[in-house]
Structure 1
Amino acid sequence: MTTTTPHRIDFHALVPNVWQAMLGLERASREGLDHSLLELVKIRASQLNRCAFCLDMHTKDARKAGESEERIFLLSAWEEADGYYTEKERAALALTEAVTVLTDGFVPDEVYERAAQHFPDEELARLLAAIVTINAWNRIAVTTRKQPGTYQP
């Protein structure tokens, strides 16, 4: 694989305490959430943030966990892919997009309420933490130009 954007810094090596804190946030946020749902959320946020490293990682993790190719391929057009995602997944994906993009600086009430209908409060809080966490990971990977292709589940 040829790259035109060289890796900038080794974030993990330079700030291991921050790295460990991020890993702790990652572990804590995913407790009690469905693994497949989490991978869909991580892939969708990574698509929006154009994070090639995280897209590579989470599509591999999703495949290893048994996620179908069709659902992975259609994720960028999930709203038009009727029958591929449950209502709960669709609510989580809508929340992911709203939190990731923060259109006009806020998450619309209807998006939040849709998610709240499908997730009990604690699960909703964990979902929000997972969305915030993947967005942080995306920003670290994009800024440091972490290259895709090396991750193995």
Structure 2
Amino acid sequence: MTTTENTTDETMAYVPERAPRLRWAKAAPEVYRAMMKLNEAAERGLDPAVAELVRIRASQLNRCAFCLDMHTKDALAAGESVERITQLSAWEESAHFYTAKELAALALTEAITVLTEGFVPDEVYERAAEHFEEGELAQLVSTIVVINAWNRFGVTTRATAGHYKPGMYK
């Protein structure tokens, strides 16, 4: 059991960390290596700040604690503000923290990740197309699809959050 001291000098006991169900990267190393290459290809040419924002938002929606841990730490290490990261879960209400381009990317991220209507609405896609040239838009869509795949690996295998250090997998 992990313990920590809080500001009132009381010791708090945290729930024990759950063990991963499967270490899929070791069990399926070719798939892991292919995912790493796909990830590199997807992000090429995309603004790194936009890439991290969409990765964090998709990971929030998919409830992937491991990816949230990783991408918030990477974003902070790259100079992203705590305020913009913490407001991501309410980005529509906190639009003033983001550029129009970032808002279009976040809307597209939600549409691709959730697919509640079974498709990405034309207006969401068209809004993104107004802010991203075709090649960059293709990279954005690729980055969103790839983080959703990573999230599914993380959630399914119960990848454990809290141990990632920025740059650990580069």
TM-score, normalised with respect to structure 2: 0.88
1:45 to partner: Cα distance: 0.1
- The answer to whether the 8 A contact 2:67-2:151 is kept is yes
- Taking the TM superposition and a 5 Å limit, the aligned residue runs for 1:5-84 are 5-84=18-97
1:102 to partner: Cα distance: 0.5
1:83 to partner: Cα distance: 1.8
Q: 2:107 aligns with which of 94, 99, 117?
A: 94
Q: 1:114 aligns with which of 121, 127, 133?
A: 127
Cα RMSD, aligned residues only: 1.0
1:6 to partner: Cα distance: 2.6
Q: 1:142 aligns with which of 146, 149, 155?
A: 155
- The list of structure 1 runs, each at least 4 consecutive aligned residues, that deviate by more than 4 angstroms after superposition, is none
SS at match of 2:95: coil
Aligned length: 153
**Mean CA deviation greater in 85-94 or 4-13:** 4-13
Name the amino acid aligned to 1:39: E
Larger Rg: 2
Name the amino acid aligned to 1:76: S
SS at match of 2:160: coil
TM-score, normalised with respect to structure 1: 0.97
Stretches of structure 1 lacking an aligned partner (at least 5 in a row): none
CA distance in 2, matches of 1:20, 1:62: 23
Name the amino acid aligned to 1:36: A
Instruction: Report 1 or 2 for greater relative contact order, CA contacts < 8 Å, sequence distance ≥ 6.
Output: 1
Name the amino acid aligned to 2:105: A
Q: 1:132 aligns with which of 130, 145, 149?
A: 145
